Amino acid sequence: MPDTITITDDRTGKTVTVPITDGVFPSSAIRELDPNLYVYDPAYLSTASCRSSITYLDGDNGILRYRGYPIEQLAEHSTYLEVAYLLLNGELPTAEQLSIWVDDITHHTFIHENMRKRFVDGFHYDAHPMGMFVSAIAALGTFYEDAKAIGDPDARHNSIVRLIAKSPTLAAMCYRFSVGLPFNYPDNDLTYPANFLNMMWKIGDYEVHPALERAMDVLFILHADHEQNCGTTAMRVVGSSQADPYSAAAAAASALYGPLHGGANEAVVRMLADIGTIDQVPAFIDSVKAGAGRLMGFGHRVYKNYDPRAAIIKSAAYDVFEVTGKNPLLDIALALEETALSDPYFVDRRLYPNVDFYSGLIYQAMGFPIEMFTVLFAIPRTVGWLAHWDELLNDSDQKISRPRQWYTGEAERDYIAVADR
């Protein structure tokens, strides 16, 4: 059987035969038939907008790999910074490369004092930390002369290092401001996750618990990339205009903020708290089926099977609960999962728990307020955004993103003076 597809324009009888590679064919075939013909694909359900060699996702079989390495192996053996190197460079680092990379990130964790004293202080006392974080990422770029020099490899590297190194600092700064606590400076003797936890929680003799440090690192690994999701697509679209990476990352973070994307972990915990007790689970499931709302943390555009990250998070949750005590919402979550997975509504639609279903329970048990959950997602996703941005800039197929539209408005008509309307 030939690996081609033949399309005939019945209006003209014109035919094109195009190769299918890895299940993809170029849309230029459509333009060959008729340069004014467009594919209508709202939400890009059938559109591959780029080639990418970063992350492989098989939604039917619940597979996720970074640069070929299964997420399960990385979560068990690697660290977030090693994974960050892998995502950006395509290969795991040697011991020497890893040491240089970790040192580089560790020594870029501080932020300009004006970010803290003037920028953050300008927010209202109850500003949402994710709103602050989005703005802080964009503002960060204004402190660096080379932020816009995206064609210069050294400047690009500097921006990548700064964004990865400083995103935990910005996140902790937003949190400490929101609760009125003094800012903790980064401690360069600590690992990446321990430094973040220390900046978040240190008051007096605080010491990071090794199990929580590891859990934080695993959560960072699991959230580091997820191919062309809404936030990463925003990064690529904004990056395609050659905007600086700080502005593009702020756009990506804004996309992540939405409740259907990275905001879902926040929505899950609120939903579990609203359900309140296990005996309310069946009634809640019935209300979802009746269309009253969605079961947050369930369903995924690509995974039509168990999200592999959800399985890892579920088991990591028990390690965290050993230190923190069990989150009382866990039993409701387990009952919800069990009920949903045996209900034809969810089974037929292939709705399974996604990464957000259990992550919020861990975050909450670790002491993070609900408003910080999406920020906790954004910190590690920064590397995914940057890896895709870098790939985009090196891809000669890419141009400024500019989809076409299907115009459904009025035909030309004459202006009517206000008195005559």
**Closest CB to ligand ACO: residue number:** 299
Q: By CB under 6 A, which span of 177-185, 290-298, 331-339, 404-412 interacts with ligand ACO? A: 290-298
- The verdict on 299 binding ligand ACO (CB under 6 A) reads yes
Look up 356 and say whether it is catalytic: yes
* Structure-block tokens of residue 382: 């920064």
Among 162, 166, 300, 381, binds ligand ACO (CB under 6 A): 300
State the nearest-atom distance from the C-beta of 355 to ligand ACO, in Å.
Answer: 5
Closer to ligand ACO by CB, 159 or 232: give it: 232
Under rule CB under 6 A, how many of the chain's residues touch ligand ACO?
18
Residue with tokens 């602050």: 132
297 near ligand ACO, judged by CB under 6 A: yes
Asked if 351 interacts with ligand ACO (CB under 6 A), we say yes
Task: Provide φ and ψ at 391, rounded to 5°.
Answer: -60, -40
- Could you confirm whether 420 is annotated as catalytic? no
In terms of phi and psi (left: phi > 0; alpha: psi -120 to 50; beta: otherwise), the region of 190 is: beta
Residues 120 and 59: their CA atoms lie apart, in Å, by: 40
Catalytic residue among 217, 225, 356, 390: 356
Binding ligand ACO (rule: CB under 6 A), the pick from 80, 175, 201, 298 is 298
- Give whichever of 129 and 299 is closer to ligand ACO, judged by the CB atom: 299
Q: Which residues contact 90 (CB under 8 A, 6 or more apart)?
A: 53, 67
Does 193 help bind ligand ACO (rule: CB under 6 A)? no
| Residue span 241-270 as binding mask against ligand ACO, x where in contact by CB under 6 A, dash where not | -------------------xxx-x------
Q: Nearest-CA neighbor of 318 among 200, 198, 207, 218?
A: 218
Binding ligand ACO by CB under 6 A: which of 31, 65, 301, 326?
Answer: 301
Adjacent-strand bridge partners of 14: 9
Q: How far apart are CA 237 and CA 230, in angstroms?
A: 10
Catalytic residue among 9, 112, 261, 343: 261
Catalytic sites, residue numbers: 261, 300, 356
Footprint of ligand ACO (CB under 6 A):
260-262, 264, 288, 294-301, 349, 351, 354-356
